Structure 1
Amino acid sequence: MANTPQSKKRARQNAKRYDVNRARRSRIRTYLRKVEEAIAAGDKDAAAAALRLAQPELMRGVTKGVFHKNTAARKMSRLSSRVKALG
C-alpha cells in the first residue's frame, strides 16, 4: 500500500490513466471490429470506409501511448491488404 504522499499521488494518477487508456483502447477496438465485420460481410466499400475511419483512431492511440507504433502499423497493413483483396 502507498505510504508516502508521492506514492499516494502516483497511485491516484495511475488509476486515472488506466481508465483513460482502457476507454481509448476499447474505442480503437470498436473501430477495428467494424472493419472486420465489413470484411466478413464481403462489402468492400463499407470496409474501405471503416478502414479510413479506423486509421486515425489507431494512430492517435500510438501518440497517446496505448499501442506501440509497430503494432499499429502491422494492424493497418494487415487490414488494408485484406480490404484490398476483397476485389
Structure 2
Amino acid sequence: MANHKSAEKRNRQSQVRRMRNRVNRSKMKTAIRSLNQVIETGSAEEAKAALAVTVPVIAKTASKGTIHKKNASRKISRLTKRVNGMETSA
C-alpha cells in the first residue's frame, strides 16, 4: 500500500490509465473481431467498408499509446492484405 502522498497519487493515476487503456484495447479488439467475421462471411465490398471503420480505431489506439505504433501498423497491414486477398480470389 502507498505510504506517501505522491505514491497515492501515482496509484490513482495508474488505475485511471489502466482503465483507459483497457477501454481502448477492447474497442480495437471488437473492431478487428467484427472485421474478421465480415471477411469470413461477407463480400469484398462489405469487407472494405468494415476495414475503413477498423483502421482508424487501430490508429487511434496507437496514437493514445495503448499499443505501439508499429504494432498498429502491422495489424492494419495484415488486415488490409486479407481484405485485398478476398478481392483477387473472388
TM-score range, shorter chain: over 0.9
Instruction: State the partner residue of 1:14.
Output: 14
Deviations 1:28-86 (A, max 9, x none): 11111111111111421111111101111111111100111111111111110110011
Instruction: State the partner residue of 2:53.
Output: 53
4+ residue runs of structure 1 moved beyond 4 angstroms?
none
Q: Which segments of 5 or more consecutive residues in structure 1 lack a partner in the other structure?
A: none
Q: Match of 2:51, as an amino acid? A: L
Instruction: State the partner residue of 1:75.
Output: 75
| Separation of aligned partners in 2, 1:42 and 1:74 | 23
**Cα RMSD between the aligned structures?**
0.9
**Aligned-partner SS, 1:66:** coil
**Percent of aligned pairs sharing the same letter:** 38
| Separation of aligned partners in 2, 1:42 and 1:57 | 21
| Separation of aligned partners in 2, 1:56 and 1:2 | 38
**Aligned-partner SS, 1:86:** helix
Q: Which segments of 5 or more consecutive residues in structure 2 lack a partner in the other structure?
A: none
The count of corresponding residues between Structure 1 and Structure 2 is 87
Q: Match of 1:78, as an amino acid? A: R
Q: Match of 2:85, as an amino acid? A: A
Q: Match of 1:51, as an amino acid? A: L
